[in-house]
Amino acid sequence: MIKSFQNAFKIPELKRRILFTLFILVIYRLGGHVPTPGIDAQALGEFFAQARSTLFGLYDMFAGGAFRKATVFALGIMPYISASIILQLLGAVVPYFQKLQKEGEEGRKKIIQYTRYGTVLISAMQAYGVSVFLESIQTQSGALVVPNPGLGFRLLTMITLTTGTVFIMWLGEQIDERGIGNGISLIIFIGIIARFPNAVLDELQQLIAGNRAILEELILWALMALVVAAVVLITQGVRKIPVQYAKRVIGRKVYGGQSTHIPMRVNTAGVMPIIFAQSIMFVPNTFSTFFPNSEFVSSISALFNWDSPIYWFFYGMLIIFFTYFYTAIVFNPVDIADNMQKYGGFIPGVRPGKKTADYLDYILTRVTLPGSIFLAFIAIFPYFIMKLVNVSYSFSSFFGGTGLLIVVGVALDTLQQVESHLLMRHYDGFMKSGRIRGRRFT
C-alpha cells in the first residue's frame, strides 16, 4: 500500500492531479471559515447546539460544519445535489429529459447546464429562507442571531450564500477536469472527515478522565473497523448477470461474439435512501424548533426523537422503501433489455425483449432486499451505540449512517481512479491481485 502511494507521486501527471485536488480542498476548507456579514456567531452556535437532530443538523453535515457557523459556504453543495436529483427524477418521467439522457455527450452537457441553472435558482431561494430563519432565531439567553435585521441583510445574505454555492460548484468541476476523483463527492467527503479529529479528541478526553476503560475503548475501535469493512463489502458487492453477444458480419468486419456481464450492485441506490429517510424523520423535530410552546408539536416530536423505538422502526422502514424507489429510478430493466436486443445481446437461457426485462427485474428485486436491510441497519447502528455506550454524537456518527457510506464510497471511487493511472503506467495498484474488486471495467 505504501509503495503504491509512492508510485503515485512518480508519475508527473498523476502527481499534478493529486496536488491540485488537495489544493482545491484546502481552498474549500478555508472558505468554510469566512463568516457571513451581520450575524452573531456565538448566538448561532448556541442555537445549533440544541438543533443537531433536526434537518439543520443534517444540512450542516453536508456543508462540512459551515452552516452552523453561517459562513459564505453555509449552503454547501446541497443545492447542486438537489438540482441533480430533480433532473434525474425528471429524466424518469419527462420525455424531453429522457431524450437528453440518450443523446450521449451532447445531452450530458445540456443536463449539466440545466443543473447549474437549477443550482443558482435553488441557492437563491434557500439563501432567502436562511436569512429569514436567522432573523427569527432568539436563543434561550435572549440573544438575537441577527442584531440588525431587514431587507438589506436579506439581500446581502442571498448574494453571499448563492455566490458561495456557485463557487463550490466551480471548485468541484475543476477537480473533475484537472484533479482526481469526483469533485462534488470529494467536497462532501472532506467536510465529513473534517469532523473526525474532534470526535477522536473527545474520545481521548473521555479515556483520560476515566469515564471509559481501555478495554472498552479498544472494543469500540475494533467494532468501528468491522462496520467499515462491512460497508466496503456491501458497497463493492455485485451480482453478475452473464450476457452473450452474437456475431454480426457487417461488410468485411465481424462484430460481437464476446461474453460479458451486467454488474448488478447489491446497493444500487447508494446513500440516497438514507438521505431521503433522514429528511422525513427530522421533520417533527424541525417543526418543534418553530413552535417551542406547542404541547401537541412537542408530544409528536418526543415520539420521533432519536432515542425512541418508534423513530428507529419508521426510519428503517423508510430506508427500505426508498432503496427500492431510488433503485427503480437509476436501474431500468426495460431500457437495458432493449439495448441488449438492439446490439444482439442476450442472457443465456432467457429470451430477448420482455422476458429479459422481467428476468432482470426479478433479480434486481431479490438483490436489493439484503442491500436495503443492510442500509437500514447501518443507519440505525450509531443510535444503538449512543444508547448502549456513553459515546458522543460526533463519534458515534462514524459507526454508520450517511457520513460513513459517503466516506467509504468516495474513498473507493478515488482509489479506483488512482489505480487506473498506476496500471496504465505499468505500476502495481493498491491491490496486488489486480483492480479493486467490484470496480472492474466491463
Domain range annotation of the chain? 1-194, 197-399
**Cβ-contact 137, 47 below 8 angstroms:** yes
- Residue 438's pLDDT is 42
Whole-number percent of the chain with pLDDT over 90: 7
- Residue 441's pLDDT is 33
**Cβ-contact 68, 75 below 8 angstroms:** no
**Cβ-contact 36, 162 below 8 angstroms:** no
**How confident is the model over 23-33, as pLDDT tens digits?**
999 998 888 88
d(CA 134, CA 143): 12
Q: What average pLDDT does this structure show over 295-316?
A: 76
Of 195 and 321, the structure prediction assigns the larger pLDDT to: 321
- Residue 440's pLDDT is 40
Q: What average pLDDT does this structure show over 124-144?
A: 78
d(CA 56, CA 41): 16
Is pLDDT of 168 > 50? yes
Q: Is 331 left (phi over 0), alpha (psi -120 to 50) or beta?
A: beta
Fold match, 1-194 / 197-399: yes
C-alpha to C-alpha distances, 230 to 382, 399, 410, nearest whole angstrom: 14, 11, 16
Q: Is 65 left (phi over 0), alpha (psi -120 to 50) or beta?
A: left
Q: What average pLDDT does this structure show over 86-93?
A: 80
| Helix extents (H) in 331-400 | 333-342, 354-388, 393-396
Question: Considering the domain 1-194, what is its CATH architecture?
Answer: Orthogonal Bundle (1.10)
Closest by CA position to 264, among listed 236, 229, 298, 293: 236
How many Å from the N-terminal Cα to the C-terminal Cα in the chain?
A: 25
DSSP 8-state secondary structure symbol assigned to residue 350: S
Report the DSSP beta bridge partners of residue 144. 138
Q: What average pLDDT does this structure show over 143-158?
A: 84
Return phi, psi of residue 351, to 5°.
-70, 145
d(CA 60, CA 66): 6
Residue 18 grid coordinates = 493529486
Within a 10 A sphere around the Cβ of 400, how many other Cβ atoms? Answer: 25
Identity at 191, one-letter amino acid code: G
- Residue 432's pLDDT is 54
Is pLDDT of 68 > 70? no
Neighbour-count burial of 358, counting CB atoms closer than 10 A to its CB (0-12 exposed, 13-18 middle, 19+ buried): middle
Residue 157 grid coordinates = 445574505
Report the DSSP beta bridge partners of residue 263. 240
Of 442 and 203, the structure prediction assigns the larger pLDDT to: 203
**Cβ-contact 119, 166 below 8 angstroms:** yes
Taking each helix axis as running N to C, give the angle between helix 401-424 and helix 55-62, from 0 to 180 degrees, rounded to the nearest 10: 20
For residue 56, name the pLDDT band (cuts at 50, 70, 90): low
Closest by CA position to 382, among listed 404, 363, 401, 403: 401
d(CA 333, CA 316): 26
Radius of gyration of the chain (CA): 24
Is pLDDT of 289 > 70? no
**How confident is the model over 210-255, as pLDDT tens digits?**
777 788 888 888 888 898 888 888 888 888 888 887 766 666 666 5
d(CA 80, CA 430): 32
Average pLDDT for the chain: 79
Question: Considering the domain 197-399, what is its CATH architecture?
Answer: Orthogonal Bundle (1.10)
Angle among Cα 418, 423, 426 to the nearest 5 degrees reads: 135
Residue 205 grid coordinates = 478526553
d(CA 40, CA 387): 34
**Cβ-contact 116, 122 below 8 angstroms:** no
Identity at 214, one-letter amino acid code: I
